[in-house]
A and B are shown apart, each in its own frame.
Chain A
Amino acid sequence: MIAPRWRKALRDLSERPLRTALAVGAMAAGVFGVGMILTSWSILTRELKTTYSDTRPASAILVLDGSDVSDALVDAVRHMPGVRDAEARPVIGGRLRVGPDQWVPLTLFVVHDFRDVRLDRFTADAGANAPAKDEVLIERSSLSVARSAIGDRVIVRTSDGNERALRIAGTVHAAGLAPGWMEHGVTGFVSARSVLRTGARAESAQLRILVAGDRLDERHIREVASRVSDSLAASGRKVTRVEVPTPGRHPHAAQMDTFLLLLGTFGALTFALSAVLVANMIHALLTEQVRQAGVMKTLGASTRQIAALYLGQVLLLALAALAIGIPLGLMAGRAYAAFCASMLNATIRDATPPFWIFASEAAAGILIPLLVALGPVVHASRISIHEAFSNDAGRRPFGTRAFDRWLARRAWLSRPLMLSLRATFHRRGRLVLTVATLAVGGGAFIAALNVSAAWTRTLAADAAARRFDVQAVFPRPYPIGDVARALGSVPDVVHAEYWTEAGASMANPAVVGEPRVSLTGPPLDSKLLVLPLIAGRWLKPGDRDVAVINQSVASRDPSLRVGGDIPLRVNGTVVRWRIVGLVKELAPHAAVYAPSQTILRATGQSPDRTRSARIVTRRHDVAGQVAASKAIERALESSGIDVSGIQALSDARKSFSDHLVIIKSALMFAALLVVLVGGLGLTTTLTLNVFERTREIGILSAIGATPRTIAGDVLFEGLVIAGLSWVAAVLVAIPITFALDAATGQMFIQSPLDFFLSPAAVAAWLLLVLVLAALSSFIPARRSARLAVREALAYE
């Protein structure tokens, strides 16, 4: 038989099903939020890591002079000291036709033996496992970019101008590659006997190696790679370039990091939110119990017995919340992890979160409510019987604080409204908790939308900085006169510029691996590029041997300063240019801008030839840019100019915004979660506030207030709380936004985003809290107002 006091504990909960449901709901929402974030976070970090490492990513890629790498050479490299494994993987560059005069970039890897892929592995996804000589396997995430299906024949034009039709024999999944839909390019795999290889002018001979020893040590990898280069040189094969991908890092690791950071931050915020919410809830539940605690004391209950009684109730609520929150959080977390994995071209093979997730959810879901309940429980159980029986148990009477007296003098408000306001401010502890709950929730919501808006603005600013519509790139330099004549024949073309372009590497010995940078020399009076400056100035007429670097260059070599020099290795020789400016660019590639003459002198290129054209078209909208691209393609082709790529700026912009999808999804997801938890919080606290005022409502009815006036008053109180919380939410959002702008910007584009307080986010939250406040105070208020006066006065 259960002791009467425990029966009281149980029945108190079952007698007020709505209130109990609200309390359990609020706690469950917290458990759900935290559980969902922890689940997706833990699954993703584990699965992304293993999917990537399971591909056996190459430590280094050696680009060799000449054509294919023979099996004998690969075998020799495999036996070199420090080399664990090696594989020849020549790369064919080109384009794939997706429509009349419309092409997308294509990268094809030549695989010597599809049954023995040793490095940068991929797995069969659908269709054939190995392509015949006129077939290709497409990486699954780029099939949509190719606008084709398995079995289709596609036209491929290699960079030497050869055109071939290939049949798509199947798809593969290469988890180590960035998703094609995000890159706006197609990746495929062909066999060594592919028809594309005849002539092989478009092919770059590449040898991939995996080092023995520490595979994550970049210096070690470079040492091994340079030893391999030396011995290849000794045997007559020159290595023109060594690429070392950041060891252990997926190409989109920055996206993942940013995304996981956001997930973690909002997880912590949801956690804080649910803790405050639970505190508020328990505070409300116990306020009602103060008098009963007093009665129990007169019956001989000790402080400990009363505390145990209420903590027992909290424990029951917490257990119920866990029972609901854990499975829901698990389901949602798995679904979200699957979505994110698809964004990163990864597969989740094991969707079981580690056990510690459940353990910590359970621990937090039980401990947090008990901890936050401790204060109010101790207060309720230690209160003296005398206090418990006095009317406004445990509160300082209204009028004992300066603020109350100030409020009491505001005679311009109608009397019932005044009563609401005073009631609101009288329950100060509750008010603070309610406002805090909503401020955390609203702050997180607004911050999520702010950061999302900051990314959109960064994207827009970067797009606005590039004032051309189409960029054409050629596989070899062509005479500028020829290109200009071809473009001049296209009516859509308004203006074209031919910038000097070259490659170089950073020559500061302190920087590991001499990272590659692009050199770009726009005409000094060009109006087509107006990049936002972080420091210094842009290039101006009369400049010589100066450079403007982007933040990506600066982040690779922290010693670079405006006013200092940047050492660059151009065609084997080191040049030093004075840095006059630092600009912000969205694309994470390292770029150095210098006067065209300066670049020409360093590279020895001819000033009359160009490898690219930046074109302003008549129309600047997407359709206009696409139409112009097609016309330009035709014009160049008929003039005998090979094109390795034509990109409308709108497409480049789309590609970049596709890279942000996962970050924005994390932010939207966080905002939704916070709305869910915060909204529930608002609803529960306001509803409980009204429950607490039932007796007061009875008095008001007794002295003639109509249900309408009462409901109006309570509504007003709800709106005042909502308004206050909104102001607090905006204030809370500011530091969160700053921190996330800085962190996500730094991770993704090596530069903090510009702070932006989104008016839409601020307005949306105001609307949301007002609507929720109205609903959650009006409904219980109407109920209270309809209670008979006697019932209301007797309400315990």
Chain B
Amino acid sequence: MISLQGLSKTYDTPAGAFLALRNIDLQIDAGDFVAIVGRSGSGKSTLLNMVGGIDHPSSGSLTVGGAAIQSLTHNQLALWRGRTVGFIFQFFQLLPTLTVAENVMLPMDFCGTRPARERHPRAMELLERVALADQANKLPSALSGGQQQRVAIARALANDPPIILADEPTGNLDTESSVAMFALFAELAAEGKTLLVVTHDREAAQSVSRTVTIVDGCVA
């Protein structure tokens, strides 16, 4: 499903070139539930960003779901991302002026994945799944952190993408919410989705099928 070969990433900073990822080789199969762990600054998030097409590798090759994403144009990449990848962030990143349901409908709107009249029922179905259907018409600011992150998951699933990428999804949540979150991820993996989760949460990471540890930009 995801294949990285000899992938490196260098950043130019005022203090000189910084090698964030060195020569990474990694294969992830469909349905894998992978935890990416490592210290702060080890390159975990950079790796996730590469896979999601948020950032470009400096060298090496990267294939995700059969697409060589380096060769996609800006707009092709956006559409590909919307349909193939669902993102979940540490700070939820819900759009503050849209209601919960509207946030979930937004990816369908952008990618035109469903006829307009099916989008709201689909959003409600996803919110039902994360047990937030009753909050559908509220603005994100009215929700707790755990609830907001569940909305983010519903939004990530909106276009039914085969891959879910989560960057420290439990970093801002209490233990109970974190456990529930990982349970939900496990369910998704069981349904055949490929999940990559960057996390510090060793306990929660117990439920994954595979752990990749990154140390100083290399797979340990």
Which A residues contact B (CB, under 8 angstroms)?
A: 1, 3-5, 7-8, 11-12, 15, 291-292, 295-305, 382, 384-386, 389, 397, 399-400, 796
Return chain B residues, CB-CB under 8 Å to A389: 54
B83-94 contact mask (Cβ, 8 Å, vs A): 1 or 0: 101010000010
Those of B83-111 within 8 Å (CB) of chain A: 83, 85, 87, 93, 95-98, 102-103, 105-107, 109-111
Contact B74 A4 (CB under 8 A): no
* A7 CB contacts on chain B under 8 angstroms: 98, 102
Chain B nearest Cβ from A3, distance in angstroms = 5
For B4-32 the 0/1 string (1 means CB < 8 A from A) is: 00000000001000000000000000000
Q: Please tell me if the beta carbons of B93 and A295 are within 8 angstroms of each other in the complex.
A: yes
- Name the distance in Å between B136's Cβ and chain A's nearest Cβ: 12
B110 touches A296 (CB 8 A): yes
CB-CB under 8 A from B49, the residues of chain A are 385-386
Cα distance, A291 to B93, chains bound together (Å): 9
Q: Which residues of A contact B57 (CB under 8 A)?
A: none
Q: Decide if B79 is an interface residue (CB 8 Å cutoff).
A: yes
Distance A64 CA – B151 CA, assembled complex (angstroms): 99
Tell whether B130 is near chain A: CB-to-CB under 8 Å.
no
Residues of B with C-beta under 8 A to A301: 78, 82, 110
Instruction: Return the contact of A299 from the options B82, B96, B116 (Cβ within 8 A).
Output: B82
Q: In the assembled complex, which residues on chain A have CB atoms less than 8 Å from the CB atom of B155?
A: 299
Are the C-beta atoms of B102 and A4 separated by less than 8 Å?
yes
A757: min CB distance to chain B, Å = 44
Interchain CB contact under 8 A, B78 and A4: no
B79 to A298, Cβ gap below 8 A? no
Tell me which residues across on chain A come within 8 A of B38, comparing CB atoms. none
Bound Cα distance from A1 to B121, whole angstroms: 13
Who on chain A is nearest to B91 by CB? A794
Beyond A297-B78, A386-B54, is A302–B110 a contact (Cβ under 8 Å)?
A: yes
A15:B75 contact, CB within 8 angstroms: no
In the docked arrangement, what's the CA distance between A400 and B96, Å? 33
Q: Which residues of A contact B116 (CB under 8 A)?
A: 1, 3
| Contact status of A400 and B14, CB under 8 A, knowing A297-B81, A303-B75, A385-B54 | yes
Q: Which 6 A-B pairs have the closest CB atoms?
A: A300-B82, A11-B97, A299-B107, A4-B102, A300-B111, A385-B54
Q: Which residue of B lies closest to A15 (CB)?
A: B97
- The winner among B14, B52, B78, B87 for most chain A CB atoms within 10 A is B78
Q: Which residue of A lies closest to B80 (CB)?
A: A300
Report the nearest A residue to B101, measured CB to CB. Answer: A4
Is B55 located at the chain interface by the 8 A CB criterion? Answer: yes
Cross-chain contact A4 with B14 (CB below 8 angstroms)? no
Q: What is the CB-to-nearest-CB distance from A384 to chain B, in angstroms, rounded to a whole number?
A: 7
In the complex, residue of chain A having the shortest beta-carbon distance to the beta carbon of B46: A386
Residue of B nearest to A13 (CB): B97
In the complex, A300→B156 CA distance in Å? 11
CA distance A302 to B107 in the complex (A): 11
Cβ contact within 8 Å between B78 and A302: yes
Closest A residue, CB atoms, query B78:
A302
Secondary structure of the A side of the interface?
A: helix
Assembled-state Cα–Cα distance A15/B96 (Å): 10
Cβ of B178 within 8 Å of any chain A Cβ, yes or no, is no
Complex formed: what's the CA distance from A302 to B106 in Å? 12
Cβ of B149 < 8 Å from any Cβ of A? no
Q: Contacts A296-B106, A303-B75, A385-B54; is A399 near B14 (CB within 8 Å)?
A: yes
B170 within 8 A of A: no
Q: Can you list 28 A-B contacts with CB-CB less than 8 angstroms, sorted by A residue number?
A: A4-B98, A4-B103, A4-B106, A5-B106, A5-B109, A8-B95, A8-B98, A8-B106, A292-B95, A295-B93, A296-B95, A296-B106, A298-B81, A298-B87, A298-B93, A299-B82, A299-B106, A299-B107, A299-B110, A300-B78, A301-B78, A302-B79, A303-B75, A384-B55, A385-B49, A385-B55, A399-B14, A796-B96
Name the A residues within 8 Å of B85 (CB-CB). Answer: 298
B46 CB, min distance to chain A CBs, angstroms: 9
- Do B110 and A303 touch (CB < 8 A)? no
Q: Which residue of B lies closest to A3 (CB)?
A: B109
CA distance A15 to B140 in the complex (A): 13
Q: A760 to chain B: closest CB distance in Å?
A: 48
A3, A8, A291, A304: the one contacting B97 at CB < 8 Å is A8
A404 CB → nearest B CB, Å: 11
Additional pairs, 10, CB under 8 Å, beyond known A7-B98, A382-B74: A4-B103, A4-B106, A4-B109, A8-B106, A292-B95, A300-B81, A301-B82, A302-B79, A386-B55, A796-B96
| B159 beta carbon closer than 8 Å to chain A | yes
User: Bound complex: CA of A297 vs CA of B74, how far in Å?
Assistant: 10
| CB–CB B97/A303 < 8 A | no
Q: Is the CB of B97 within 8 A of A12?
A: yes
Contact A11:B98 (CB < 8 A) given known A3-B109, A298-B87: yes
From residue B199, how far is it (CB to closest CB) to chain A in Å?
A: 18
Chain A residues near B103 (CB, 8 Å)? 4
Contact residues, B140-156 vs A (CB, 8 A): 155
Cα of A399 to Cα of B109 in the assembled complex, Å: 41
Residues of A within 8 Å of B55, CB to CB, are: 384-386
Q: Please measure, in the bound complex, the distance between the C-alpha atom of A299 and the C-alpha atom of B119, giving whole angstroms.
A: 15
With CB as the reference atom, state the residue of chain B lying closest to A300: B82
The CA of A732 and the CA of B110, in the complex, are separated in Å by: 47
A399 to B14, CA, bound (A): 9
Q: Could you say which residues of chain A place their CB within 8 Å of the CB of B87? A: 298-299
Cα of A462 to Cα of B15 in the assembled complex, Å: 68
Residue of B55, B75, B110 most packed against chain A (CB within 10 A): B110
Instruction: Kindly list chain A residues whose C-beta atoms are within 8 Å of the C-beta of B54.
Output: 298, 384-386, 389
**Chain B residues near A12 (CB, 8 Å)?**
97
Pick from A4, A11, A15, A300 the residue with the most CB of B within 10 Å: A300
**Chain B residues whose CB sits within 8 angstroms of the CB of A397 once the complex forms:** 14
Given contacts A4-B98, A8-B95, A384-B54, contact A300 B74 (CB under 8 A): no
Chain B residue at minimal CB-CB distance from A385: B54
Minimal beta-carbon separation of A606 from chain B (angstroms) = 94
**Residues B110 and A5 in contact, CB atoms below 8 Å apart:** yes
Min CB–CB distance A71 → chain B (angstroms): 84
Chain B residues with CB under 8 A of A8? 95, 97-98, 102, 106
Docked pose: A386 CA to B103 CA in angstroms:
21
Write the chain A residue with the least CB distance to B113.
Answer: A300
Q: List the A residue with the shortest CB-CB distance to B85.
A: A298
CB distance from A550 to the nearest CB of B (A): 68
Q: In the assembled complex, how far is the CB of residue B21 from the closest CB belonging to chain A, in whole angstroms?
A: 14
> A7 to B106, alpha carbons, bound, how many Å?
10
Separation of A302 and B73 alpha carbons in the complex (Å): 11
Residue of A nearest to B87 (CB): A298
Minimum CB–CB distance from B207 to chain A (whole Å) comes to 25
The answer for the CA separation of A346 and B133 in the assembled complex, in Å, is 72
Q: What sequence of 0s and 1s flags, for each residue 42-86 of chain B, a beta carbon within 8 Å of any chain A beta carbon?
A: 000000010010110000000000000000001100110111010
